[in-house]
Chains A and B, each alone.
Chain A
Amino acid sequence: MSVPRVVAAGDSALVVEFDAHVDPVINDRAISLSDAIRSAGIGGIRDVVPTYRSVAVYFDPLRTDYDALVKRVEREASTPSIQPGTARALLRIPVCYGGDFGPDLAGVAAFARLSEQEVVGLHGASTYRVFMLGFVPGFAYMGVVDSRIAMPRRATPRVRVPLGSVGIAGAQTGIYPAETPGGWQVIGRTPIKPFDPQRVEPFLLQAGDAVRFDAISREEFDQWPSA
């Protein structure tokens, strides 16, 4: 694996770039580096943001010596992470597939030339990695979706996608944490809120998490405690 590249992003942020691939090993390096920078207690840092294959470090330029920060970050980046990935347990997320909750399930089945049941089976058969969060608060980009059901985004995004909707966009899958416009192929809905600012832990997911989806019935959905 090549040496990461540090580039300035304006005068208040820098970006550490690893190899330009969507790859769990590269993503692990980005997340480990992000954790290392966060816990290093470097003065002047405002925010650290891991993405698929990079880490952005936001800093106050009046309280930070840029060259020293770059050296420090390079040192952290060249230290191989002891424990790959985060040690969080596998998260199992209940999903009620199809019907009103999954208006695109039939379309994905047609795309895959499979039955709706087979699509649900394939979506639930993989363990997904949370590569990063973005788009709206609590939205996790998860992969990798089985190539047979990896249908691209809708040609025309929906104006409103309900909270909890579970969608597919190519090799990615995700849960809408709020009602927003969106173009993902919506195949089901979870009664669990990915983001709730009133909750002790507002965010369900963080980068590096492992996730599986379990099919539940409409009745189970309606009776789910957090619904």
Chain B
Amino acid sequence: MAIRVIKPGMLTTIQDAGRWGFQARGVPVAGPMDSVSHRVANALVGNDPGAATLEITLLGPELEFESERVVAVAGAEFELALDGRPARVNAPFVVAAGSHLQFVARRRGTRAYLAVSGGVATPIVLGSRATHLVSAMGGCGGRALKAGDRLPLGDSAPGATSAHALAAPVVALPEGDATLRVLPGPQDDYFAADALDALQSAPYVVGPNSDRMGFRLEGPRLAHARGADIISDATPLGALQVPASGQPILLMADRQTTGGYPKIATVITADMATAGQLGPGDAISFVACTARDALAALIAQERALMALEADGGRVRL
């Protein structure tokens, strides 16, 4: 009833919907960088949306399954080999006890999510199995997977799995660049009058020191009007905080709970899955939108996910 890690891949962590409710005590939320693909993978194997999956970054792992399970991979597009034979992403497939699943080559996107029927069942810490690397909390000892790790699995639900492969991925994978919509604020009034225009004037490149905490962006300089320090306040997912350099940092899943830099704008929730598929060297164009646009986009995304989740349970293992 476990997965054995033969090769860990570059950065493979256990993630669930995140560790909510403890930010007042300084505990970061963590969770998937692309929470939509995480949910898609769970839906394809008939899991609850919050079941723990493996987040796989750029170079995938090799895994051995100790028991028969339904598995699905969503998000970044990888070539998969199941006991040497090709397997498909965005579709559920059965792995037999003793099978080896290899992530061979990555075609597009940065992060894939591997869901296993029953979910990964590592211990729950403060209500979540999500791995937070900096505080070494959750997942497999609070760290990325290593060769030799044995990941316990939950009881497999009796054969609930989607009959269908996805016609198209729910998160459109960026091809080196992406447009992300932003809402101004919460501290846009700390910036020069033309800073919001500057943010939208040319693409930003995701810098090499970007990670699960945040993307350090390189592009048009954003000028402060009232200095680069604020009294530390909360740091939402998707916020663009701007230190004195004028180069924004896009706050991602592992962000700290608070920070002392003003935040000029915040990426809308519906576009954060796309952001999670970006990596160093990719480009981001920011475009301002309205709260109404943001909600409409989120509702459309939720409808697609709910349709997929309702589709589960058609075939039995």
The answer to whether B48 has its CB under 8 Å from any CB of chain A is no
Q: In the complex, are the beta carbons of B291 and A48 less than 8 A apart?
A: no
Partner of A7, one of B186, B259, B294, B298: B186
CB-CB under 8 A for A51 and B258, given A15-B186, A56-B236, A62-B298: yes
Known A-B contacts A11-B294, A56-B236; A206 and B183 likewise in contact (beta carbons under 8 Å): no
Supposing A9-B239, A15-B186 touch, asked if A135 and B24 sit within 8 A by C-beta, the answer is no
Chain B neighbourhood of A54, CB < 8 A: 231, 233-234
A105 CB-CB contact with B under 8 Å = no
Considering the complex, which residues of chain B in the window 221-265 have a beta carbon less than 8 Å from any beta carbon of chain A?
230-234, 236-239, 256-259, 263
Q: Is B165 an interface residue (CB 8 A)?
A: no
- The answer to whether B135 touches A137 (Cβ under 8 A) is yes
Whether A47 lies near B125 (C-beta < 8 A) is no
Report yes or no: B232 in contact with A52, Cβ–Cβ below 8 A.
Answer: yes
Out of A8, A47, A139, A178, which one reaches B291, CB within 8 Å? Answer: A8
**0/1 interface trace, chain B 123-156, chain A, CB 8 Å (1 if under):** 0011000000011110000000000000000000
Whether A178 lies near B295 (C-beta < 8 A) is no
Question: Is A81 in the interface zone, CB < 8 Å from B?
Answer: no
- The tally of residues in B whose CB lies under 8 Å from a CB in A reads 43
CB distance from B149 to the nearest CB of A (A): 20
What per-residue 1/0 map shows which CB atoms of A76-101 lie under 8 Å from chain B? 00000000000000000000000000
Q: Which residues of B contact A15 (CB under 8 A)?
A: 186, 233-234
Q: Which residue numbers of B lie inside 8 Å of A, CB to CB? A: 20-29, 125-126, 134-137, 183, 185-186, 230-234, 236-239, 256-259, 263, 266-269, 291, 294-295, 298-299, 302
17 contacts between A and B (CB under 8 A): A8-B183, A8-B185, A10-B268, A13-B266, A47-B21, A47-B23, A51-B232, A52-B233, A53-B231, A62-B302, A134-B26, A134-B232, A134-B258, A135-B258, A137-B26, A195-B25, A197-B137
| Seed contacts A56-B234, A138-B26, A197-B126; 5 additional CB < 8 Å A-B pairs | A8-B291, A15-B186, A46-B20, A58-B20, A62-B298
